[in-house]
Structure 1
Amino acid sequence: MTAGGGAEQLRRPLSPMERWYWICDQISPLNVIARVHVTGAVTGEALARAGARLAEEHPLLRVAVAAGPDGSRPCFVAVKDARIPVRTVRCHELAPERWERELNDVELVAPLDLRAGPPARIVDVAQGAPGTAGECHDLILTVSHVIADGTTAMELLRRLVELAAASATAPPADAPWPRRPLPPPEELLPKRINGLPRAAHFVASVIADQIALVLARPRRLEPATPVPPALRRTRLIRHELDAAQLDALVRRCRREDVTVHSALVAAMALTVSGTAGQAGRGARVTVGSPVDFRADLVPPVGPRDAGAYVATVPSHVQVGPTGRLWAVARGAHRDLRRRKRLHQHLALVSLLRFMVPRSVGRSARAVAMVDRVGPGNICLSNIGRYDFPDRAGRWELSGAQFVAGISVSGYLVATVNTSHGSLHWNFTYIDGAVPRERAEWIAHRAVRTLLSGLGLAGTPAPDQGRALMPDTTTTRG
């Protein structure tokens, strides 16, 4: 089937949330990336066929973005060539870390051309001699945050691998099953959220929250060196909890009556505060949590429908006076649960129509506000357990995980998913604003703080640190 042949095309204006992501991406790349390791023989032809089928199935993979002469009024339009490009990186020897280099040097820093489309690309990092027992591949799918979040990226990669494995020996004979275009997320919000009384209630709660914020003076990560928005580039540091560590974490969280997410938030908050056991009385750290709202929509949206369906809400996590991991985790759990109960994530999506600038040319004030008080300054995006298959056809699959670009939304983002028996905890940061040494300090210390809190044998206790980590400041709102 040719691009769009027989499949319904998506043509509509970008919604406010989509427009904000599109504006951010024009300033600095805002990509979402999923990766999986494949043991077996993968060909570029099979990937190209699978990419074409994937685009035929998903309307949002067959679009470009067109805008007016002044950069306003962006709209989705049909892309002229919906084939997802495939780039192959050949390593004749085994190079397990080469895919990280591709992310750092290309996929996190090179924007997708949304003016021409499609909003996705594929990279095959091929290792070992083709046709030998040692042949393996790291498959990387990069998609624009305008049309995808972490769940979408993982789901698209899963489907891509499934299609490629099926067509590894011959083109598939069956016809694709294109999905129908969905309305923008804002149009699927419950009526009570979009209504004026609910919006007024949310504005009042935001004002109250800002007053509490001023009084609490939470700590935020400030740049060591100011980096202009257009020059911000994302870099990656990877961490992973193995099966035994993951099992210990899950069991301890159940015992403490908290979520894995809140335990990870607590470890990051303690690390950024620089206290790790000696927090000052009342000290707080703001950590943003993207909340998946697919199930809240009317009708609900399933994970197999592409789109960005997360809204980031801030939690002002109290790390004092004890600074103990599980006490901090309980506080973080209560705070996020309260915000979800008040539907702050849904109200935020609804109110974006009043807040998002019209174009990049009019975005300076909004970007400055995000820098000053935005919830993504330090962020933990956790999609939880994602059951990526262990096999596809003759291929063995492992290490499925995702990574998020930051653009102008903050300075440090951690992405988390549990797949193939491991918890992948990836940290991205803005190069220069957060020096590499400091980013590694935060990432390593957060993992050590968590493992130390689990009491695992041989886990070194975190250093006590200083009252404030270098280049961490206290803000007043």
Structure 2
Amino acid sequence: MTVTGRGRTGEVRRPLSPMERWYWICDQISPLNVIARVHVAGAVSEETLAWAAARLVEEHPLLRVAVGCEPDGSRPGFLPARQTRIPVRTVRCGRSDTDRWEREIDEVELATPLNWRAGPLARLTDVATRTTGDEGERHDLLLTVSHVIADGTTTLELLRRLVELAAGREAAGSGALSAPDVPRPRPALPAPESLLPRRINGVPRAVHLVAALVADQLALARARPRRLVPAAPVPVGLRRTRLIRHRLDAPQLDALVARCHREGVTVHSALAAALALAVADDAALPGQAGRYRRTASVTIGSPVDFRTELVPPVGPRDAGAYVATVPSYVPAGPGVGLWPAARGAFRDLRRRKRIHHHLALVSMLRFLSPRSVNRSARAVALVERTGPGNTCLSNIGRFDFPDRAGRWALSGAQFVAGISVSGYLVATVNTSHGALHWNFTHIDGAVTRERAERIALRAVRTLLSGVGPTGP
């Protein structure tokens, strides 16, 4: 299979890269979807959404693909989708059902795989309040994309562009679209691994890979970190991702940013520390895995975006999955406060980025990614024991989703991630529309709803109590 050259539009026909193949295999075991949501105040027609979705497909080659493979599931590759229209589903609800969109994500979007055999690897759901044309009409748009072709940044960007196209058509009516709204076909890019730098910090990639792994083993031996222990074993084929939602409002967010600045850490480090302390506190409860040692650490996985490190760099508006999850060992023993833990998380993640640990992990997948689902048991078991996604914090930072598009007011843009076999608890974070959205997903049964809610609430309260009087 071949891919059209960079700089030209066209179809993607090539084998899945090791990273893409791993995501595809995980998705077949248990759905691995990424969902973006935005709230739209104003009238939106089904016809307009279908039109905008069709234009989005025209712009992005990866939205025109399916996955083909041999009868035994080996040698998977991208090929043109049999169906090139993004399905649009409408869910109508009453004015009082304000959380219907959350239930749709929890009950449908996280649980239902995309049809990779036919394509496209995306679908759109419109949760519509009241009737079309009503002055009080509201819509929650949910764009679900396979992790094979998208990460959180990609999915939010695709939804932003879809809303922009739809608003442009609504404003234009039967007239021509303005220049910014005209669909702009993007080039078909090679696989992420093929764009990795050949030499990193002056050493060959293979040498760098070995050095990074040795450094990580030494750090692991020193930290002896703890991992989230499941309440009960859940067979990988029966794993089900569920959603718990939290947010920080504008005053809380401003206080957090100011305090992080004073403490000399990033917001991500503070969030990772709060999550690690919540996991440690939960482990100390009766019936859990037992108290942590005073010097204990908790493993928190941090997906690192490597778009800008590729050669040539890939822009945020290009579809694809461009993150690699590295483990951070966050101090979380008895008596450890939020800010010492945050400084530990900050130092550990900074070191890993400096030695390009995330790029080493991407390179390593060519040795670890199984050839098919039927040959994946060993890799899945390895991830179960040592994978960095056991407890994960995926924070894409500030995402500038516009407040308006044409006549529509926009708010609440955020994303949610499925887990599949990569771990047990994942927190996804983005800052948009003046709020920090902190969504938690967990594997049902392995982490009970009560336990997941307890950890999520502890993390939020620990963070806010360390920030100051804005907390609950």
Normalised-by-shorter TM-score class:
over 0.9
Q: How high is the sequence identity, in percent, across the aligned residues?
A: 72
Matched, 1:36 2:38: yes
C-alpha contact (below 8 Å) 2:198/2:204 kept by paired residues: no
Q: CA RMSD in A?
A: 2.0
Residue of structure 2 in register with 1:348 after alignment: 361
Contact 1:276–1:323 at 8 Å: present in 2 too?
no
1:372 maps to 2:374? no
Which of 251, 264, 272 is 1:257 aligned to? 264
Q: In the alignment, which residue of structure 2 is the partner of 1:358?
A: 371
Change (3 A) 1:275 1:255: farther
Cα displacement string for residues 8-46 of structure 1 (whole angstroms, at most 9, x for unaligned residues): 111111111100000000100000000000000011100
Measure how far apart 1:225 and its partner are: 1.2
Deviation at 1:79, TM superposition (A): 1.0
Secondary structure of the residue aligned to 2:56 is: helix
- Equivalent position of 2:228 in the other structure: 221
CA shift, 1:177, in A, is 1.9
Distance apart, 1:193 and its partner CA: 4.3
Deviation at 1:99, TM superposition (A): 0.3
Q: What CA distance in whole angstroms lies between the structure 2 residues aligned with 1:290 and 1:39?
A: 32
Given candidates 407, 418, 422, the residue that maps to 1:405 is 418
Asked if 2 retains the 8 angstrom alpha-carbon contact of 1:377 and 1:410, the reply is yes
Decide which of 253, 267, 273 is 2:274's aligned counterpart. 267
Deviation at 1:128, TM superposition (A): 1.9
* Structure 1 unmatched runs, 5+: 461-477
Return the alpha-carbon distance in structure 2 between the equivalents of residues 351 and 160 of structure 1.
35
Gaps of 5+ in 2: 285-290
Deviation of the 1:355 alpha carbon: 1.1
1:118 counterpart = 2:125: no
For the residues of structure 2 that align with 1:380 and 1:442, how far apart are their CA atoms?
Answer: 13
Question: Per the alignment, do residues 449 and 203 of structure 1 end up closer, same or farther by CA in structure 2, a change over 3 Å counting?
Answer: same
How many residues end up aligned between the 2 structures? 455
**Contact 1:37–1:137 (8 Å) recurs in 2:** yes
Contact kept? 2:12, 2:65, Cα under 8 Å: yes
Identify the residue that residue 384 of structure 1 maps to in structure 2: 397
- Say whether 1:209 aligns with 2:186: no
Q: Which residue of 2 aligns with 1:246?
A: 253
SS, match of residue 325 in structure 2 = strand
Q: Residue 310 of structure 2 aligns to which amino acid in structure 1?
A: L
Cα pair distance change 1:172/1:361, threshold 3 Å: farther
Any idea what the Cα deviations from partners look like across 1:293-334, whole Å, max 9, x if unmatched?
Answer: 001011111000000000000011112364110011001000
Task: Provide the residue aligned with 1:447 in structure 2.
Answer: 460
Is the CA contact 2:299–2:329 (under 8 Å) kept in the aligned structure 1? Answer: yes
- Per-residue CA deviations over 1:393-429 (Å, capped at 9, x if unaligned) read 1100000000000000000000000000000000000
Query: Deviations for 1:33-81, whole angstroms, at most 9, x for unmatched residues?
Result: 0000000001110000000000000000000000011101111001122
Task: Give 1:166 shift.
Answer: 1.4
Q: Secondary structure at the match of 2:119?
A: coil
Name the residue aligned to 2:74.
72
One-letter identity of the residue aligned with 1:131: G
Classify the secondary structure of the residue corresponding to 1:274.
helix
SS at match of 2:199: helix
Q: Distance in 2 between matches of 1:288 and 1:409?
A: 10
Question: What SS does the corresponding residue of 1:290 show, helix, strand or coil?
Answer: strand
Structure-2 residue corresponding to 1:474: none
Instruction: Determine whether 1:230 maps to 2:237.
Output: yes
Find the counterpart in structure 2 of residue 467 from structure 1.
none
What is the alpha-carbon distance in structure 2 between the residues aligned to residue 57 and residue 112 of structure 1?
A: 20
State the alpha-carbon separation in 1 of the partners of residues 193 and 157 from structure 2: 22
Alignment correspondent of 1:18: 20
Query: Structure 2: how far apart are the matches of 1:397 and 1:157?
Result: 12
